[in-house]
Structure 1
Amino acid sequence: MPITTCIFDAYGTLFDVAAAAREAAAEPGREIFAEHWPRVAQDWRLKQLQYTWLRAVADAHTDFWEVTQNGLDWALEASGLEGDPELRERLLQLYWELSAYPEVPQMLADLKAQGMNTAILSNGSPSMLNGAVDSAGIGALLDDVLSVEDVGIFKPAASVYELVLKRFNCAPDNVLFVSSNGWDAACATGFGFTTAWVNRAGEPIDRLPWTPQIVLTDLTGIPEETNR
């Protein structure tokens, strides 16, 4: 069946999750943080993801904003920076204003020109996602922003992917699902979506029962892939 609907993970896929730490590190007076920001950004993202998985299997759901704060607190303490509350607040503020990757607006515009449905499907809470979409100025290029808060469990639970089918009244093989998380793309393959993994860092494929069907280094080629 033809692809009619292109669905994107948000954080790390459309929005650069390292941007908050990188931008804070460039601000005047943050010379100490500038020495640590790459590790903080990496730890922050890793713990954020780990906490979503742990909460899902432990049936202890909370919204993504709390998970994001928890991950940052761990990352700051791991780098010996937990004693700077102003830095913490600044990083959290910047997370609401994450930069989109440079190819995102044109890529989405090309999809809309092809007549594709376009949407975000994310662990993010609705307010966080709306803030990022507004900051990036891409709202007019998206038909919807879907959040796991509608089902109360994080990815890769099947009920999250089902939100796409309900919203767009389509079959799984009408969907191209795009994520920068290899595990997310793999599990979406298992659900029945056609999947693309945006592997910007050149990481190995996760050892899971399924694999992404398409592997790209950025989002530029996504409009082409909808014609498979």
Structure 2
Amino acid sequence: MSNPPCPAASANDIATIAALIGDPARTNILSALMGGQALTAGELSWHAGVGAPTTSGHLAKLSEAGLLVMERQGRHRYYRLASADIAHTMESLMALAATGPRRHRPPSPKDEALRTARTCYDHLAGRLGTALAGSLDARGHVIVGDGGALVTEAGRDFLAGLGAGLGAALADGNGDGAGGGRPLCRVCLDWSERRHHLAGRLGAALLTCSLERGWIARIPDSRAVTITDAGKQAFSTVFDITAEHLAPK
């Protein structure tokens, strides 16, 4: 039995969500959680730049609106994004904001790290993420378009050969998620590169593969990831992504 269609959101519904995201502290909270990891209220207070009582109020509003979910572990409460769609929305808003009026702010090492390689919820973004999408597209392994992405038969064989859960991610085929499951492959507009990177089950599996093989390493308190020496070698050998592809433009 197919799922009933979702009712169209009203203008008031959209405005309510927009107002929640529009607060700078709440934007910082949602951005911090785009790394895909659950964080405590104390950690989110640091990211938001506000005190603990104010953070608690923000977390309550975001949770009530269905943007966050809270999980208890012992005495601690951990918060995470309610779904990958919220991270996708935040990334799209960042891309839109990046096209707005320029404000002078000298770039920092933190900015450059995020632009080079970062997590967008559970997949890779930045120059590394878009380079991966471009490599798979150029080789005919994934067909990338404005509306989505499709894994080819050649791509299934290539990706399954990498192991690290990629075969399992490909098992259900190119589902679009219409039946309630997560789509195999979708595109996400990268805010820093203005190009697409890969999301969906395939994007998540590529991130997991890169972490498990030690190609990248998480940076504490940041969505940025470091590309290790082993990663530089692997991305060059396996995907033909060299240092020049990851250099600032």
Higher relative contact order by CA 8 Å / sep ≥ 6: 1 or 2?
A: 1
TM class by shorter chain equals 0.3 to 0.5
TM-score normalised by structure 2 residue count: 0.32
Indicate the structure with greater strand content: 2
TM-score normalised by structure 1 residue count: 0.34
